[in-house]
A and B are shown apart, each in its own frame.
Chain A
Amino acid sequence: MSLEVQPASSLQGRWFRWRLDNGLTLVVVDNPAADIVAARLFLRPGMLAELPHQWGLNHLLAATLTKGTQRRSAQDIALAVESLGASLGTEAAPDYFVLGLKAVTGDFPELFELASELWRLPTFPDPEVALERELTLQNLRLQQEQPFHLAYDQLRRTLYPHHPYSVSTLGTLESVRNLTPEDLRAYHQRYFCPAHTVVSICGRVEPERVRAWVERCFADWSAPAVDWQPPPVPTPEPPVAPLRTIRPTQQSLVMLGYPGPAVHSADYPAMKLLSTYLGNGLSSRLFVELREKQGLAYDVSAFYPTRWQPAPFGVYLGTAAANTRLALVKLAAEMQRLLAEPLPEAELLTARSKLLGQYALGKQTNAQIAQLLGWYEVLGLGADYDFLFPQLIRQLTPEHLWRAAQRYLRHPWVSLVGPATALADIG
């Protein structure tokens, strides 16, 4: 067993990391601020392990993991959680699968023991899988109501053909219909192993005691590490015509998307800062130019998720159908501006303070801290990336951002959703 103790960084208190003998990684943060303990159990590699005919498997796994183990029924599990007044939830993500729990400190050991049982011994009962599969199909239809979702969906389908990043974590109607309880059991048996598991715990706890809890639940778990390769990342050319989905909506959704870098890329911090500069907050460039000055939108923003493999970068706004073309021209002009010349130093400094300040604000609750450190571990960056990331951001100059923009933001994928009349004349 190895132990590392980190010097105090921006996180309150200190964090500890152990690797158990079976390969499981444990991160613990002692944060005495509230009488609450939050934990996250992560499993890599999430959707990246799904083949096209299985898309949505991790989501269905998430929906049914809490619905039966070799020792307890769905009812027993719900009773255990709800009797404690605790919260326990599961979620599939592109790069990981996660089980999250939160309890008042006194209840935590009991809840964690239940979580470990769910992690190790789920049974995926047939009727529960059938129920959750139907609800997932319904959820996929419900997603079609949201213009943002439609625009983002057609964008990622063309950015990542045949790759798991091309679809939402729910999967597709076709793939979900074919998922069976056997698929879930086989996936669980293959991927759930100590070497792929990261446990991250934050709260009013003594780290050594937490380690003892975790060892009691997991030290006797042995399963071979799986041999797994990430899927190849496609490199498509931008389509010649805009992507369009016709919907009888009041607003059009206008989106420009680009293939951006992965979190491991040296360009990741620069692209994170560009995304903040463009779309984060009331003082962001797009908000000021397109909303405040031109009144083209209520919602205008940017996205660039943190991903193990190259992530989509995008900007978008919702605008009156009659303004579709104008909004597209203005949005494209803002992106061109980033390519023309480096940003003024003052604009970069404002964006930098905003990003760093909000990064710190995003670590207020125990659940947020457990999520962030565990996520960094699962991405292979290590929990100390929490310390490194602000340093990387502080080193960026206008030239760095300019070069990154040149590299990634030259050719947009245009994605439009709106009424036929609004989209007809945009070619």
Chain B
Amino acid sequence: MSELVYPNAPVHTITLTNGLQVVYHYQPTAVVAIEFWVRAGAAVEPAVYNGLAHALEHMVFRGSEQFPAGAFDRLIEQHGGLTNAATSQDYAHYYVLTSLDHWRESLIALADVLLRPNLAAEAWEQEQAVIAEELRQAQDHPDWVGQQVLYQHCYPDHPYGRPILGTDETLARITPAVLQQFHRQYYHPGNMVVVVVGAVPWEQLLAVLEEVCPGSQETQATTPRLAAPPWVQPVYRQLVWPQAEQGRLWWVWQVPETQDAATGWGLDLLAAILTGGRLARLTQRLREEWGWVQDIDACYQHQLAGGHWQLTAWLNEGVCPEQVQEVIAAEMLALQHHPVSPDELRRAKRQLLHAYTFAMETPQQMAQLYGYYHYVGWLEQGMQYRDRLSQFDPESLQQLACRYLHPEQAVRLWLQPGVAV
């Protein structure tokens, strides 16, 4: 077992004989957070079954033999707990939040539905209808629609370019046998991480995990590494969307796979300098001075095989996208040609450091952060977050901007509100 001091109490990590990786943080709270991260995101599903990883995430909540339909949800919620899940390109992520009195039965139940779901034909038929509704609901949201178009352009011929929800056609192809096969391949202890934060005794936790996740590591394969997305040429697309009341503008840059967490944190600092607060460069110009945008937001999204850095602006009526793009291009160039001022950098660092403190207030927040960092391989580097962030100087940010965020390399999309019919 290894012990990491992170940030005010030790975080323990261990791999059990069955291959299950455990991340544990004792926290003397009345609430216990339990998370499972499975290396079974949308990116590993076969293209013909696009939407499969997300479909399986839904089907897990349809129960197992021991916890038939509805029994799992009832068990968690009747003790006042919460449970839910999410699927990304890289992983499926399940969580339970429960009181200390109920951690054991909650963990046993969650592990059981994850490892031994029913995946019955009738339940899948019902769940297909639910997912079809989820897809329809998403299609009624212009932000989602634009984001999907953007991913297609940023990741052509790569799984990251496909919608996580799938499409009507691909969802129709998925059968219980397909779900079974995907489950067998990826949902075993050797392909999972469990994170527990709360006042759970370590020995008792280990005993429960050994009991509910039997198996030995040798027979299990882990998810293969995904190929890096191909480099894309910059492109500018336009999309007229009649249901939108407001225009949206996106600028996106691919960020190639990196093992260095600090690259990501530097990109976070650049995002904060541009849009983190009223004084941030783009917010100041576009919202406060000229009133051209309702909002503008920048963020770095890390993904295992390569992520992206994205700017999104919600434009006010009558504002021409070209005038906004000129401002964006000028600010992106400025980041490359001139180091940021020491004051700006100090503010951005302080903002991120405190955001980090604010984001570690509850067991659920901690479990999610540990789980994510462990998943992407940054748990150890994450302990150095404060030190590493304070080391950034104006020159190192300038280098990052030059390397990753050249205005002429951006994939851009303008979603234009249409004339109502």
Contacts and interface: CB of A to CB of B under 8 A. Distances in A.
B294 to A, nearest CB: 5
23 contacts: A34-B361, A78-B279, A81-B277, A84-B350, A134-B291, A135-B294, A135-B316, A138-B294, A142-B294, A145-B142, A145-B244, A147-B140, A248-B243, A249-B140, A250-B140, A283-B78, A293-B126, A295-B127, A298-B130, A299-B137, A350-B78, A354-B77, A364-B31
B232 interface: no
B230 interface: no
A87 interface: yes
A142 B357 contact: no
B354 A86 contact: yes
Contacts of A144: 245
B351 to A, nearest CB: 5
Interface string A236-253: 000000000001111100
A334 interface: no
Given A82-B347, A281-B77, A358-B80, 7 more contacts: A82-B278, A84-B350, A103-B354, A251-B133, A320-B136, A350-B74, A358-B82
Contact of B362 (A282, A294, A355, A364): A364
Nearest to A318: B137
Interface in A279-311: 281-283, 288, 291-299
Contacts of A247: 243
A131 B230 CA distance: 43
Contacts of A298: 130-131, 133-134, 136-137
Contacts of B83: 282
A335 interface: no
Contacts of B411: none
A251 B136 contact: yes
A250 B357 contact: no
A103 B142 CA distance: 35
A295 B123 CA distance: 10
B28 to A, nearest CB: 9
List the 9 closest pairs (A to B, CB-CB), nearest first: A357-B80, A295-B129, A85-B350, A85-B354, A282-B73, A298-B134, A250-B136, A298-B133, A78-B278
B133 A356 contact: no
B81 interface: yes
Nearest to A78: B278
Contacts of B77: 281-283, 350, 353-354, 357
B291 A131 contact: yes
A49 interface: no
Nearest to B244: A145
Interface in A7-60: 33-36
A385 to B, nearest CB: 19
Interface in A175-197: none
Nearest to A247: B243
Contacts of B139: 250
A426 interface: no
Given A134-B316, A142-B314, A297-B133, A35 B357 contact: yes
Contacts of B125: 295
A138 B357 contact: no
Interface string B128-171: 11111110110111100000000000000000000000000000
Contacts of B31: 361, 364
A319 interface: yes
A326 B333 CA distance: 56
Contact of A141 (B133, B137, B278, B317): B317
A302 to B, nearest CB: 15
A229 interface: no
A366 B365 CA distance: 14
B80 A356 contact: yes
B187 interface: no
A34 to B, nearest CB: 5
B361 A364 contact: yes
Contacts of B351: 82, 85
A295 B242 CA distance: 28
B317 A138 contact: yes
A272 interface: no
Contact of B242 (A248, A294, A320): A248
B317 A295 contact: no
Nearest to B143: A145
Interface string B103-141: 000000000000000000000011111111110110111
A361 B137 contact: no
Q: Most chain-A Cβ atoms within 10 A of its Cβ — which of B131, B294, B361?
A: B361
Interface in B264-279: 277-279
Interface string B244-269: 11100000000000000000000000
B382 to A, nearest CB: 18
Interface string A314-358: 000011100000000000000000000000000001100111111
Contacts of A282: 61, 73, 77, 83-84
B347 A83 contact: yes
Contact of A296 (B129, B140, B287, B353): B129
Contact of B358 (A36, A83, A288): A36
Given A85-B353, A249-B243, A319-B133, A354 B361 contact: no
Contacts of B294: 135, 138-139, 142
Contacts of B137: 250-251, 298-299, 318
Nearest to A358: B80
A142 B31 CA distance: 38
B97 interface: yes
A131 B288 contact: yes
